[in-house]
Structure 1
C-alpha cells in the first residue's frame, strides 16, 4: 500500500526509527494510518496490527522494559481534488467500519501484545460527508442549505454531527439533479469526465496527475524530484519555484531524551 501512495518508507525504516526512540528513553509512539486507499484489501489493513506488534516487540527488546506502548490511529481515506486520487472511488462507510472492526478485533485479540497497543479510529460516516463536500459541485449546495435549514450546526464537532441528517437532506435534494451521494463519493471517475474544479488552476498539470494516478494503481514508485530529473508536474514553472536540492547536512538522529 505504501507504493500506492508513493511513500517509499519500508517497515524496516520504521522499526529502525522507533528502536532509536525506545532505546533513548521513549516509552510510547503513535502510528498514523488511513483505511480505504485504492486497491486496498482487508488483509492490507490487518497487516497494520502485525506492524504494531513488531513495534512493541522491538521496543521491549532495545529498552529491556515491558512498559512499552504504541497507539494505532486510523481514519477513512477521502480522495481530494487536485491530487492523483481525485478520480478514485471512496470506500463506503459500511466497508470502512467493517475493516476497522476487523483490525480492532485482531489487536485486542493478541494476548501477548494487545494490551500494549492503543487503538483510535474515526468511523466511516463523517468521511462520506467529507467526500461529498470535497468532490461535490454546485448541486451539493442544495444539500448544505437543506442541512442548515434543518438545524445542522457545528458539524465538525462529533457531538453535533448527524450523519442521518446529511443523508436525509441529500436524498431529498439530489434526485432532482439525477445524482446521489454515491455518485459523488464511491464512484470512480474517468479521464474524460469534466471535474467540477477543472477550471481552477492549482499549478499541477492534469495530465501529470492522471499519469500519477495510473502509477498508483500499478504500484509504480515515483522518485523524489529533488534527487532526480524533473517530472514536469507543472508546479515549478507556473509558480516560479526553486526546489531545495540535497540533504541539509544536519544530524537528526539519534534523538535525545527530553527530561521533564
Structure 2
C-alpha cells in the first residue's frame, strides 16, 4: 500500500517515527566503558609507536576480580563483558551482582560497543589494519570475536547537549558507519573525535562536522518527502558533504506509477542543501 503525504511537517514527523521504530527493532548490544586509566597508564613508547592493548573477557570466565577495577554493582547495568585494564568496571554475574544481572540474557551479545573516554582524541582510519587510534596510538582489542563498534559523545548545532555517536568500521570495504539516533551514514574518509567534536580530514586540513546524519536527513525530507535509501559522507571541494540518495513513488502525468530517484547534497558544516539531482522528467511526476 502506497500513501502519499504532502507537506514538510508531515515528512519530518514520519522520519521521526520511522527512526524510533528502527531503533526499537535493532539487535541489543552491550556498551563496555573503557576509562581513561586503561589507556594512559600503559607504558609510553620509546623508539616507536606501540599499540594500546585493551584485553576483554566475559565476566563468567574471569577467575578472580582484577586489581584496581571499579565496583559498579547496583548501577542497574550488568557488566557481562569487561575490559581487564586498570580502572575498568569489575566483572558482574548473576551470582556476584544479582541486582544488576538477574534479568540478563543467557547468551551475551557478540558485538559489544566500546565507549572510549572523551578526554582522549580518537582517530578512525578504515583502511588501516588497526583502524582505531587513541591519542595517536593504535588500539588493539583482545578477547572480542568481532571488531567492536566505538561509542563517543559529539556536539552538533542541532542539539543543545552532546549526543552519542557510534562508529563501526568495515575493514573489508574500507569504510566506516556513523550512527546517530538510529540514522546511519557511511564514509571512507578519515574521522577524528576530539573535545566532543567530529572532524573529517580533508586536503585543506581537518574540518569540523557541525551537522550530524540525522539532522541532514531531516533537512532533506523537509524539502521533499521521500524514502531514504543511502547516506554517504564525502569530501567535496575541501568540505564534508552528505550525499543522500532517496526515492519517491508518484505518478507520471497523474496516471502512470513511477519511482523518482532523488539525490540531495547537504553541507555537513552549514546544514544547507547544496544541490538536488532528479531525472529531467521529474517535473511531470508530481
**What is the TM-score normalised by the length of structure 1?**
0.27
Q: Which has the higher strand share?
A: 2
Q: Which has the higher helix share?
A: 1
**What is the TM-score normalised by the length of structure 2?**
0.25
